[in-house]
Amino acid sequence: MASSSNPEIARVFFPSYPMFQLYKDGRAERLRQIVTVPPSDDPKTGVRSKDAPVPPLSSARIFLPKTSDPTAKLPLLIYIHGGAFCIESPFSPTYHNYLTSLVAKANVIAVSVQYRKAPEHNLPAAYDDAWDAINWIASHIERNGPEPWLNENADFDKVFLAGDSAGANIAHNMIMKSAGDDQIRLKFSGLLLMNPFFMNDEPDELISFIFPSSKGPNDPRLNPACIASKELAAGLVCKRILICVAEKDFLRERGVSYYETVKKSGWNGVIEMVEIEGEVHVFYLFKPDCEKAAELMDRVSSFLNL
């Protein structure tokens, strides 16, 4: 959209929540400040965190809970953050604090995955980076990978893939991709989708811009409803799926549709959906101390420990 005060601006994504703007000469300018916090030993929970490079182009933040047994093998959570494929990171205060709390509550070791963002790096770059991260994590299965915490503490018989919003979309796609790759050695116990982003039949202005090679609503990476039931059922190579939606989330119906699509597909796992009444998109990230966020944290923790 053009601005009368600055005629060089062609479009803003989005005026209601500005992430970046495009100029008529093709330049893109970010509109939100990037804020990060360093890894740390959290004095309240005892959770430790550290950063690690993920070849060839990415990185991750790893979280280890306080435990009385340093050799204990813990469920492994691979978490992919949201942010419309454009903003946020594992190193932001929002996601650092959320993963710290979740790791402490669920007593899991977590790898929070960084990926390249649009508009500098359009999709499918985020999918590629997430897949590289999963392969990097899998390199620790024989206990001789580059990251000691994964070698020593990850239970590779209990691996969960999770994400919120756009990150939930990426998590779903990583499960599907692993089904068709005989080289990946990770076996997934569960898939956790928090307020997931999927397309419906309507055009999406942002997706059209940041994923120009996609087929839009007919792209199976964006809209699982367009995948043949047999293919979807075969691709979900995990035992359980938990979908979390919020009553006032603008993406609520997308999550419900995913739940119904999987239920009808003939998939032989267990899928559940929990809906939080009266709440909006990813409310638990911005109101972590509210009662409903605590209830959702309990539900997620239970899922990771079944």
Active site residue 165: yes
Question: Per the residue annotation, which of 101, 165, 178, 214 is the catalytic one?
Answer: 165
Distances (CA, A) of 148 to 49, 60, 207, 261: 13, 14, 38, 40
**CB-CB contact of 130 with 93 (8 Å):** no
Four-residue CA torsion sign, 247, 248, 249, 253:
positive
Give the amino acid at 249.
D
Q: Which residues pair with 111 in a beta bridge?
A: 62, 78
Q: Both tokens of residue 113?
A: 């995955």
Kind of pairing between the strands at 154-164 and 28-30: unpaired
* Residue 49, number of CB atoms within 10 A of its CB: 23
**CB-CB contact of 123 with 85 (8 Å):** yes
Would you please indicate which residues are annotated as catalytic (active-site) residues?
165
